[in-house]
Amino acid sequence: MKPKIYLIGGSRFNAEALLSFLREDNAEWLRTAGATEAEEMVEVSGRICYMSFGAKQSPRSNADYIRNLIDQGHESVLEHVSWTFLLTGVSRAFTHQLVRHRIGFSFSQLSQQYHEETAATFVEPAHLMLSPGALAAWHNAMAVSKESYNVILDSLKELNGSPGLALQEKEFKRAIRSAARSVLPNATETKIVVTANARSLRHFFDVRGSIPGDVEMREVASELFRLVQTEAPALFSDFALTTLPDETPILSRT
């Protein structure tokens, strides 16, 4: 199972509203043809800081303007654009690392208390396939874990209403699923909605995109990069996506 990422949302730039503001201020904005909504949002946010419109606007293109913002460390301007992604086919081990990113990220993840994992699937780590013995041990552990999950759930369901489990239905389910999920492994497949702004994504790409031994992380970082690069190439033009000799992707600064 491979990570699959859907871009399900993003910031809109309301050019009409901005132009209306500029008309009222008797200012003009020389727009770069072909700049995307996200790129224009960042450019305009930067220009507002200096009101560099009209005579005060330099002949820089949108891409050059954004490059200069980044080079100068004026990166808070990049926080005005964000995207929302749905990640599926990723492991809980991966999402545990992902949710450590506290700034400029928001998360909504599949619950193992509200969602029963009787049909759980597992994300096979890269490199396991290199060893038939390791692969067999892994498949065995997954099967035992899933079976144990179902045995625990079924056994505790039989105790519904007993003195130790006298809970209302919702809390009863939460209690028995909590007990059962404790045997599920890090490899359990999960789904998570992630919203991140451009500045935070750049930081994520920096610290997570090029770790040789973490294939799943590199795969997700690279796919996120592909998606946002289409949305706003100027915001990520200093990153390059290449592959390692084993054909897995790696994301690094140029």
Ligand X SMILES: Cc1cc2nc3c(=O)[nH]c(=O)nc-3n(C[C@H](O)[C@H](O)[C@H](O)COP(=O)(O)OP(=O)(O)OC[C@H]3O[C@@H](n4cnc5c(N)ncnc54)[C@H](O)[C@@H]3O)c2cc1C
Q: Which residues bind ligand X (CB under 6 A)?
A: 100-103, 200, 203, 207-208, 211
Candidates 208, 218, 226, 253; catalytic one: 208
Across-strand partners of 78?
Answer: none
Length of the chain: 254
Smaller CB distance to ligand X: residue 65 or 239?
Answer: 239
Asked if residue 98 lies in contact with residue 192, where contact means CB atoms within 8 angstroms, the answer is yes
Smaller CB distance to ligand X: residue 100 or 132?
Answer: 100
Closest by Cα among 193, 189, 219, 222 to 205: 222
Residue 45 exposure: Cα atoms within 13 Å on the Cβ side = 18
Shortest CB 75 distance to ligand X, Å: 11
Asked if residue 198 lies in contact with residue 190, where contact means CB atoms within 8 angstroms, the answer is no
Shortest CB 22 distance to ligand X, Å: 34
Which helix (H) or strand (E) segment holds residue 44: the answer is helix 37-50
Asked if residue 149 lies in contact with residue 118, where contact means CB atoms within 8 angstroms, the answer is yes
The sheet with strand 82-91 has its strands ordered as 4-10, 82-91, 189-197, 105-109
Shortest CB 120 distance to ligand X, Å: 25
Shortest CB 222 distance to ligand X, Å: 15
In angstroms, rounded to a whole number, what is the distance separating the alpha carbons of residues 201 and 207? 10
Smaller CB distance to ligand X: residue 206 or 238?
Answer: 206
β-pairing verdict for 189-197 and 4-10: unpaired
DSSP 8-class letter at 125: P
Shortest CB 54 distance to ligand X, Å: 36
Smaller CB distance to ligand X: residue 79 or 124?
Answer: 79
Annotated active-site residue 102? The verdict is no
Give start and end residues of each alpha helix (H) in 158-214: 169-181, 198-208
Smaller CB distance to ligand X: residue 122 or 205?
Answer: 205
Catalytic site positions: 208
